[in-house]
Amino acid sequence: MVRTPVEQSERIEPRRDERRKQPAAERPHAQLQMLHRLAARLNQSPDVRDISEAVVGELRTLIDYHNCRVHLLDPDGETLTPIAFRGELSDYQGETYDALLIKVGQGLTGHVAETRTSYYTPNANDDPYATTIPGTEDVDESILAAPLVFGDRLVGTIVISKLGIDQFDEEDRRMLETVASHTAVAIENARRTADIERALAAEREATASLRALDEMKNAFLRAVSHDLRTPRTVVLGAAMTLERDDVEISREERSDLLARLAINARKLNRLLTDLLDVERLARGVVKVDRAPIDVAALVRSAVAEAGVAPGRVIEVHAEPLIADIDGPKVERILENLLLNAVKHTPEGSGIWVRASRSEEGLLLVVEDDGPGIPTDLREEVFEPFRRGDPEDPSPGSGIGLSLVAEFARLHGGRAWVEDRAGGGASFRVLLPC
Q: Are residues 417 and 367 in the same domain?
A: yes
- β-strands 351-357, 362-368 pairing: antiparallel
What is residue 107's three-state secondary structure?
Answer: helix
Radius of gyration for the alpha carbons in the chain, expressed in angstroms and rounded = 38
Q: Of 283, 309, 342, which residue is a domain's last?
A: 283
**Does some domain include residue 76?**
yes
Q: What's the mean pLDDT when you consider all of the chain?
A: 82
Residue 149 has pLDDT above 80, yes or no: yes
Q: Are residues 58 and 190 in the same domain?
A: yes
Spatial distance between the Cα atoms of 32 and 21, rounded to a whole number of angstroms? 15
Spatial distance between the Cα atoms of 424 and 268, rounded to a whole number of angstroms? 28
Residue at 348: amino acid letter: G
N- to C-terminal Cα distance for the chain? 64
Q: How many CB atoms lie within 10 A of CB 42?
A: 22
Residue 169 has pLDDT above 80, yes or no: yes
DSSP state of 75: T
Name the maximum alpha-carbon separation found in the chain.
123
Phi, psi of 320 (to 5 degrees): -70, 105
Q: What is the CATH number of the domain that holds 123?
A: 3.30.450.40
Q: Give yes or no for a contact between 27 and 175, defined as CB atoms under 8 angstroms apart.
A: no
Q: What is the CATH number of the domain that holds 222?
A: 1.10.287.130
Q: Could you tell me which residue, 380 or 96, shows the higher pLDDT?
A: 380
Spatial distance between the Cα atoms of 171 and 84, rounded to a whole number of angstroms? 23
pLDDT for res 32: 65
Tell me the mean pLDDT in the region 95-118: 87
Q: What is the CATH number of the domain that holds 402?
A: 3.30.565.10
Q: Are residues 242 and 366 in the same domain?
A: no
Q: Are residues 37 and 116 in the same domain?
A: yes
Q: Are residues 351 and 407 in the same domain?
A: yes
**Does some domain include residue 206?**
no
Q: Could you tell me which residue, 16 or 343, shows the higher pLDDT?
A: 343
Q: Give yes or no for a contact between 160 and 63, defined as CB atoms under 8 angstroms apart.
A: yes
Q: Are residues 299 and 373 in the same domain?
A: yes
**Does some domain include residue 207?**
no
* 31-90 tens-digit pLDDT: 666 666 776 666 666 788 888 888 888 888 888 899 999 999 999 999 999 998 887 544
Residue at 421: amino acid letter: A
* 287-315 tens-digit pLDDT: 899 999 999 999 999 998 887 767 788 99
Q: Are residues 320 and 410 in the same domain?
A: yes
Q: Are residues 193 and 220 in the same domain?
A: no
Tell me the mean pLDDT in the region 88-102: 58
**Does some domain include residue 378?**
yes
Q: Give yes or no for a contact between 98 and 74, defined as CB atoms under 8 angstroms apart.
A: no
pLDDT band of 11, cuts 50, 70, 90? very low
Please give the full DSSP string across 183-247, using - where no structure is assigned: HHHHHHHHHHHHHHHHHHHHHHHHHHHHHHHHHHHHHHHHHHHHHHHHHHHHHHHHHHHHH-SS-
- The helix or strand, by DSSP H or E, that contains position 34, with its residue range, turns out to be helix 27-44
Q: Of 283, 316, 342, which residue is a domain's last?
A: 283
Q: Are residues 341 and 265 in the same domain?
A: no
Task: Residue 338: name the closest of 298, 375, 377 by CA.
Answer: 298
pLDDT for res 391: 54
Spatial distance between the Cα atoms of 356 and 167, rounded to a whole number of angstroms? 85
Spatial distance between the Cα atoms of 54 and 41, rounded to a whole number of angstroms? 7
Q: Of 149, 166, 197, which residue is a domain's last?
A: 197
Spatial distance between the Cα atoms of 165 and 215, rounded to a whole number of angstroms? 72
User: What are the distances in angstroms from CA 37 to CA 53, 70, 188, 268, 408?
Assistant: 13, 19, 19, 74, 64
Q: Are residues 99 and 148 in the same domain?
A: yes
What's the structural domain count of the chain?
3
DSSP state of 293: E
Of all residues in the chain, the percent with pLDDT exceeding 70 is 80
Length of the chain: 433
In 3-state terms the chain splits into helix, strand, coil percentages (rounded to 5) of 50, 20, 30
Domain of residue 229: give its range. 213-283
Q: Could you tell me which residue, 5 or 128, shows the higher pLDDT?
A: 128
Residue 424 has pLDDT above 70, yes or no: yes
Helices (H), 284-294: none
Q: Give yes or no for a contact between 116 and 148, defined as CB atoms under 8 angstroms apart.
A: no
pLDDT for res 160: 95
* 194-235 tens-digit pLDDT: 888 888 898 999 888 888 777 767 766 666 666 677 788 888
**Does some domain include residue 204?**
no
* 399-415 tens-digit pLDDT: 889 899 999 999 999 99
Q: Are residues 79 and 160 in the same domain?
A: yes
Q: Give yes or no for a contact between 56 and 176, defined as CB atoms under 8 angstroms apart.
A: no
What is the pTM (predicted TM-score) of this model?
0.49
Q: Could you tell me which residue, 205 or 3, shows the higher pLDDT?
A: 205
**Does some domain include residue 169?**
yes
**Does some domain include residue 173?**
yes
Q: What torsion, rounded to 10 degrees, do the Cα atoms 314, 320, 322, 325 define?
A: -10
Q: Are residues 270 and 318 in the same domain?
A: no
pLDDT for res 228: 74
Residue 368 has pLDDT above 80, yes or no: yes
pLDDT for res 422: 87
**Does some domain include residue 208?**
no
